Every structure is written in structure tokens, then in C-alpha cells.
């Protein structure tokens, strides 16, 4: 980039790397140390085998109590999902419905990794079977397909392939600067609130059916912005596995789960 010897910091924090990078950019600006900071993220997993990606991601877990015990990221979230199912009566179908909705939204974005609805994926599998001259699979509807072991196999029960994170490749860059900006900017600036949260490794958590880090970060962010959850019109939450989205929208205060509901 031709920026040497400007300082640069590399951040590795699994799925939270982008958010942590943004936060460090905010801190650098707020401290007065820099007038402008470039933050970015890139990830290239599609050219790696599943085994190599699993090893790389496992390094972001707790080495002693998670990684060395054979817990991969799918199995970590599978543990959370089964805990949520036990406490609230959540069904695998609830996880699948989130996946159907998310794939439908992804189909609207030409840059999405899977810019296909579940119905599109079903049709694609049927078309390939016709081309090969093999029996054409039939499903009554999207939910029937989501339950089909052949079309949507289990990754770590109750998580299946199409409600789990794929191996992504992508990148993004933002330029941060103080609020004091020139009036002739070509596009209006984005104003950002960033609040942190953290939690223990799974074996040390008080519950597996909720995300303490999300709750704490939400409380801080709402307080800083002077709003409550009811004031939020739209939210994009982390959905590496669909159970993560379900827990996030609960812990952010948008929905309330009750045991047995």
C-alpha cells in the first residue's frame, strides 16, 4: 500500500475480528493519537480444506478446555443450541426457519456468498440430477428439504449444513476520522457507536443458552446512544450458526424466550 513506516496492527479474534478492529480504530481516534485511521479485514477460506479451516478457527477457542477437548466451532454452537432447546423447548425447525429467511435475504445481495434462496438451491440440485441422469429428488417444501440428510446433512446436531457458517472469502475497508469533518464531503459520513463485551470459555459460563457478552455490550451501547431496544428499527446480528442469531436477538432485548414457550 506504500504506507511504510506507518504503524499497523493485526487483529485475530475469530468471528469478532472485524468488530474488534473497528473498536481499536475508534480508540485510536478518540485518544487523539491519530487524525485518521484505516481499518480493514480480509478472509480467504474457500481455497482451504475443511480440515485446515477447522484447525485455524480452533485456535480462537479456549485451547485447554475447548480445542484440546475436540470442540470445533460447529460443536461449540451445537452445545449452545441443545442448551437452548432444553431450557426453552426450541426445536430444530426454529433453527431451520432462520436459515430459510437468511438465505432469502442473501439472494437479494449479488455479493453474498450464497445469493440463492433455499428454493433456488433445491431447484439447482434437481437440475443437476437431471443432467446426470440420476433420480431427481423431490421435496414437499423448503422445510422438507432442510430436514433431508442428503440435501442438508447434519454438521453437529442439531446444526445442519445450510444453517451453519460456510467457508468465506471477502474483505472490507473503512476510513475513520473525528467528527470534525469538512463540509464538502462527496458522501455523508457514518456515525458509529461501538461497545465491547466478553465472556468465559464454555465450561465456565453460567449458562449456554444466552450470550453474556452480547447483553453487556447492548446495555452499554443503548446507554451511550440514549436509546432502548424498542427504539431500534433494524439490526444485523451475527449468524455464524442460526442459534447465534436466535440468542443475539433475545440478548439484545428484541425478543423474549420463556421456558416451554
pLDDT tens readout for residues 200-242:
888 899 999 999 999 999 999 999 889 999 999 999 999 999 9
* Confidence check: pLDDT of 103 > 90: yes
pLDDT tens readout for residues 143-197:
999 999 999 999 999 999 999 988 888 888 888 887 666 667 777 766 666 777 7
Between CA 198 and CA 194 the distance in angstroms is 14
In this prediction, residue 260 carries a pLDDT of: 58
In this prediction, residue 3 carries a pLDDT of: 84
State the helix-helix crossing angle for 92-106 and 118-132, rounded to 10 degrees: 80
In this prediction, residue 162 carries a pLDDT of: 95
- Tell me yes or no: is domain 14-251 CATH 3.40.47.10: yes
In this prediction, residue 261 carries a pLDDT of: 54
Phi/psi for 206 (5° steps) reads -70, -30
Q: Tell me the helices (H) and strands (E) count for the chain, helix number first.
A: 8, 4
Phi/psi for 86 (5° steps) reads -65, -40
Between CA 11 and CA 57 the distance in angstroms is 14
Top-confidence residue, 8 or 82: 82
pLDDT tens readout for residues 104-126:
999 999 988 888 999 999 999 99
pLDDT band at residue 244 using 50, 70 and 90 as cut-offs: very high
pLDDT band at residue 15 using 50, 70 and 90 as cut-offs: confident
pLDDT tens readout for residues 51-90:
888 888 888 888 888 888 888 889 999 999 999 999 999 9
Phi/psi for 160 (5° steps) reads -115, 170
Between CA 90 and CA 154 the distance in angstroms is 17
Count of residues making up the chain: 261
In this prediction, residue 131 carries a pLDDT of: 96
Peptide bond into 191 cis (omega under 30): no
Between CA 60 and CA 240 the distance in angstroms is 14
- Contact call for residues 28 and 34 (beta carbons, < 8 A): yes
Amino acid at each position: 500500500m506504500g504506507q511504510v513506516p506507518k504503524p499497523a496492527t493485526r487483529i485475530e479474534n475469530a468471528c469478532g475480528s472485524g468488530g474488534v478492529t473497528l473498536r481499536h480504530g475508534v480508540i485510536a481516534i478518540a485518544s487523539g493519537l491519530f487524525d485518521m485511521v484505516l481499518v480493514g479485514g480480509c478472509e480467504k477460506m474457500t481455497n482451504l480444506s475443511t480440515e485446515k479451516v477447522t484447525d485455524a478457527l480452533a485456535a480462537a477457542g479456549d485451547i485447554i478446555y475447548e480445542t484440546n477437548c475436540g470442540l470445533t466451532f460447529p460443536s461449540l454452537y451445537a452445545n449452545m443450541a441443545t442448551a437452548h432447546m432444553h431450557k426453552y423447548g426450541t426445536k430444530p425447525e426454529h433453527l431451520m426457519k432462520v436459515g430459510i429467511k437468511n438465505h432469502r435475504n442473501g439472494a437479494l445481495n449479488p455479493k453474498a456468498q450464497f445469493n440463492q434462496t433455499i428454493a433456488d438451491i433445491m431447484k439447482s440440485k434437481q437440475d443437476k440430477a437431471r443432467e446426470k441422469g440420476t433420480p431427481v429428488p423431490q421435496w414437499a417444501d423448503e422445510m422438507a428439504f432442510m430436514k433431508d440428510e442428503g440435501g442438508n446433512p447434519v454438521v453437529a446436531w442439531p446444526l445442519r449444513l445450510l444453517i451453519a457458517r460456510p467457508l468465506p472469502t471477502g474483505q472490507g475497508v473503512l476510513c475513520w476520522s473525528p467528527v470534525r469533518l469538512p463540509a464538502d464531503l462527496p458522501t455523508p459520513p457514518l456515525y458509529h457507536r461501538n461497545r465491547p463485551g466478553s465472556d468465559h470459555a464454555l465450561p465456565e459460563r453460567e449458562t449456554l443458552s444466552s450470550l453474556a457478552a452480547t447483553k453487556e455490550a447492548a446495555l452499554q451501547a443503548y446507554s451511550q446512544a440514549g436509546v432502548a431496544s424498542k427504539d431500534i428499527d433494524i439490526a444485523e446480528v451475527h449468524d455464524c450458526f442460526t442459534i447465534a442469531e436466535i440468542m443475539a436477538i433475545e440478548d439484545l432485548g428484541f425478543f423474549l424466550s420463556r421456558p416451554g414457550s
